[in-house]
Structure 1
């Protein structure tokens, strides 16, 4: 499944590149307003912080919510206390787009994450051109030289990389790449099974000073409390917010 998702995302990026060449996207990225400081926004605090996600669908759950106005939803998240907004831009299985990202960036004053299957520089430049402050780099999808080069490119554009891991080896690779923001995804991207305890088994491998993000398997306040007790500074939440009253559910999560 991961290979399929990455392959589709790269094919879609190649199609966009045929319409808007790399040089033009690099110029647009240079002209974009500076990226916001995501590390400051997500820095450890007395309470857990939340990256709230604009998510219409997923391969494991199918369609979750229509979300005709991503900007309006993101504004609710910001008003409710979210520290950053994640926007799915993958179009085939998650039904997202870069237009969603642009709309959200125009509507909120907190950092915005482009959540997609990024495997080439073109995708990083277009994320910056669209207003992203953070890009997702999935260790399992990238060899080490590519991970390190994309991470370095992300930093050179003023953005932050959320480097996603699923194992001790992947955490070590993220650390070697210099990641300052490391996520542990409870969802196996090959089988899509969930393991809420995975974060706790890997958290101690993430060095002091690196922000720890728990991803997936966040359905209620008990899940947030579990991750917080295991050392999470931040939780990334999508499905639980878009399938309920987002304001009320976000307030529950932030009370942990």
Structure 2
């Protein structure tokens, strides 16, 4: 599955490298970036990163009718601590433009895509994103190190995603500020929160951890908090209905 995603990004990376060679890359974003890390720490355990996710390989089309602006505002009103924005086009029907369209909601945004080359970090820095995703399994350790450092030069922290103990060991050698544990099995595409619970026992003090995939009910959220996670990233279960804001309120048991 990850190799399919890698191949899908090849043309984009080539295009960005050509722009870089021409000196035509867009300049860094000059507006305000809400602090992604601080927003999650401030809310504390149970903070929700609400995702705008129109489609996925496992679910197909999820909610193509809901615009990014509508989703961002609904999530803000419903109490999301931050937003996750799918920008991958081929498999998730996302767009880099969604970041600018969702920025007026005022929440920090995680660019969720397959970032494989430093030039994609530079591209991200030209948007209002407050953080970007790095999947440990998709990159060599030195590539991860380079992109982490480049992100910090732009004041863009990386969320380093892991699926198992080997991924976690690779990530922890880089001492990232944020680790995301994904409970999805990449071979079967099924989810099992026991995976996050198992890895959660390895969480060091002071590092912010996010649980992702398979979180659909208040009980799931409570389970991840009990497992030691500081935040959760939730997409499909919020987006599959007509009102993602109401779904977020139900997840967090918020009535206001």
Residue in 1 aligned with 2:229?
A: 232
Distance (whole Å) between structure 2 residues aligned to residue 141 and residue 68 of structure 1 = 30
What's the offset of the Cα at 1:204?
2.2
In structure 1, C-alpha distance between the alignment counterparts of 2:78 and 2:21, rounded to whole Å? 39
Q: Which aligned runs of 4 or more in structure 1 are off by greater than 6 angstroms? A: none
Please say if 1:220 is aligned against 2:217. Answer: yes
Deviations 1:175-234 (A, max 9, x none): 211211110001123432212111110112121101110000012222112111111111
Matches of 2:95 and 2:13, distance apart in 1: 11
Separation of aligned partners in 1, 2:6 and 2:73: 29
Match of 1:65 in 2: 63
* Preserved contact between residue 187 and residue 195 of structure 1 (Cα < 8 Å): yes
RMSD: 1.9
Q: 1:68 offset after TM fit, Å?
A: 4.7
Any idea what SS the aligned residue of 1:11 has? helix
Using the size of structure 1 for normalisation, the TM-score is: 0.92
CA offsets, 1:113-163, max 9 Å, x none? 110000001111111101111100000111111111111111111011111
Whether contact under 8 Å (2:183, 2:214) holds in the other structure is yes
TM score, norm. by length of structure 2: 0.92
Q: Is the 8 A contact 1:113 1:132 kept in 2?
A: yes
8 Å CA contact 2:43, 2:81 repeated in 1: no
The Cα shift of 1:101 comes to 1.6
**Partner SS state of residue 247, structure 2:** helix
**Which structure 1 segments of 5+ residues have no match?**
none
Aligned pair in 2 of structure 1 residues 149, 190: CA closer, same or farther (>3 Å)? farther
- Counting only pairs closer than 5 Å after superposition, residues 84-233 of structure 1 correspond to structure 2 as 84-105=82-103, 107-233=104-230
Stretches of structure 2 that go unaligned for 5 or more consecutive residues are none
* Aligned CA distance change for structure 1 residues 250 and 21 (closer, same or farther; 3 Å): farther
